[in-house]
Amino acid sequence: MVDHAKTAAGVLAGVGGENNVQSLVHCATRLRFVLKDESKADAAAIRAVPGVITTAQAGGQYQVVIGNDVPDVYAAIQAQTKVGGDAGADDGPKGNLFNRFIKMISAIFTPILWALAGTGLLKAFLAAAVTFGWMDATTTTYTILNALSDALINFLPMALAITAARYFKASEFTSFAIAGALVYPSITALTGAPDVTFFGIPVTMVSYVSSVIPVIIVVWLQSHAERFLLKVLPGAVRRFVTPMLIVLVAVPLVFVVIGPLSALIGGGLAAGIGWVFQTVPWLGGAIMGGLWQVFVIFGLHWGLVPLFQLEYQTTGMILLIGPVFAAVLAQAAAVAGVLVRTRNKNLRSLAAPATLSGFLAGITEPAIYGINLPLKRPFAFGVVGGALGGAIIAMGGVFSKAFVVPSGLALPALLGNGNMVLLGIGLAVAILVPFLLTVLVGFQDPVDETAPAAAPATATDTVVLNPVDGSVVALREVPDAAFADGSLGTGVAIRATSGAVYAPFDGTIVAAFPTGHAIGLRGVDGVELLIHVGLDTVKLGGQHFSLKVSSGQDVKAGDLLLEFDGDAIERAGYDLITPVIVTNGDLYPGIADVASGPLSHGETLFRAVSVDSMSSAH
């Protein structure tokens, strides 16, 4: 077996070391380096490294062809160095604005997700202990445990400052200083205080505890300011004057502009929702239940908290908070659906604690930022379930006599207050709708790069059908050395004339890459096949591709696997020739009965010849 750590070390040494690497990504079969100086790379030394198939240089990238083990070698490089870590804001294709936002949020939250999940779970257990009388909330033991479980979410802006600085390529400790000022105790104490000014400028002080968007915005601005100041300031002073000026400007900017703006937007939303609750309760419930978690993402929910307090002071009850229970439990139910449906081990291990902390303690950050929002559909299903459940709860006039953090363990705050039948129906709808939609409708499951590929004990010949309309081209004519010399396996190529790829046999999807440019399959007889649409098309970042299957999904011959816009891909400057290759050459070392000329999908392309068949022939 190949030692992936040794392969990673050998490759890094061959490309000139970590300091010569500007960026690194990987696709279906190869590591794709952007090197600072390609002349430092030693191709002969890299090719001699165990586990390396060959090297290639194309499109400004230095490519090291690994084959099926490329995710393991990539992970080993990450473990040994900082190469290939957090993607920067300027890396790779941009995509549409929404996808860029999702990518940014996911990249910034990913490093802290496990800590959020773990402390959120501890918070859930602690809340349960108090609810069931196992622990007294007035004891110092509770105080210590509460601090352990609550500190990260309380000082979330400081953690996000570090990850956002890495994403935007800003100074981490300058970002940390900015975030620290936002949650500094004396600053937090000014929240809501009247007559706060900064050099005579009125300041509306809002709470930045547990906030997300303000610190991300200010770190993004910091990254641009740093690059400018480091260029224009004299070398003798730039290293300490730059952070001084940035902190001096950035923190008041948040207090004077970002804070009041968020308060203005949140206050307007609060007033509008309050009016709707008075005139059309079910609509108010739908808005609160459906959009509460969206408000949380943008930090706008703080504008609603004063309305909760005002309602309680005026009437002794809080009607607005009932639908928020639906919103919270709906996102927890959606992540529970992910836990049931996903085949990705890493995703499942994150979904389990996220489900518990969401249901029990109402801590939904690990669920939203780590799972539901990046997967998109589960988050949308949670919004739908929250809106429906919130509308039903509001119709029942359900209220709380105290301000509580909505969660499963806080439900006693609603009991006996309003129509309990509609409360039960609303909560059931809020939980069942997103859970069932997530399980039944599904989502694009991320590729589990750590899952080992199971190989059958024996192999038999397999007929491979043509996956895409087009003309058959000999593999040696593909203008990419790794494919042309058979380094990645035997097979043929298709010069595609249509924009759809179909399953070439009955089997399982073993790799459905998010970029859509390549799909790996394993047939029921054991043959493993890679269909790679175009050359270097991984650089498109998913543009012009639409995946129709997910990793782990069983398919039948002729099932639609993906669609692509061939004209757009060619206009972008990419060759559309599509290699179709057998990747497990140890079990299928050759092909026979190869077709030629124009071919429609579903017609026989070639027969993968098994090693057992070859042995019996001799």
Instruction: Please give the positions annotated as active site.
Output: 27, 532
Q: Where are the alpha helices (DSSP H) in 441-508?
A: 481-484
467-493 in b/e form (b: 16+ CB < 10 A) is bbbbebbebeebebebbbeebbbbbbb
8 A C-beta contact, residue 494 and residue 476 = no
* DSSP states along 107-172: HHHGGGHHHHHHHHHHHHHHHHHHHTTSS-TTSHHHHHHHHHHHHHHHTHHHHHHHHHHHHHT--H
Give the 3-state secondary structure of residue 330. helix
Query: In Å, what is the CA distance from 266 to each residue of 258, 303, 318?
Result: 12, 4, 18
User: For residue 416, how many other CB atoms are within 10 A of its CB?
Assistant: 9
- Using alpha carbons, select from 494, 476, 496 the residue that is nearest to residue 485: 476
Distance CA 204, CA 194 (A): 8
* DSSP states along 390-439: HHHHHHTT--BSS----SSTTGGGTTTSS-HHHHHHHHHHHHHHHHHHHH
Dihedrals phi, psi of 21, to nearest 5 degrees: -100, 120
Angle subtended at Cα 243 by Cα 242 and Cα 246, rounded to the nearest 5 degrees: 85
* DSSP states along 264-309: HHHHHHHHHHHHHHHH-HHHHHHHHHHHHHHHHHTTGGGGTHHHHH
8 A C-beta contact, residue 287 and residue 389 = no
Distance CA 187, CA 157 (A): 14
Query: In Å, what is the CA distance from 377 to each residue of 49, 337, 381, 435, 560?
Result: 42, 11, 6, 11, 21
Query: In Å, what is the CA distance from 307 to each residue of 64, 386, 403?
Result: 59, 20, 11
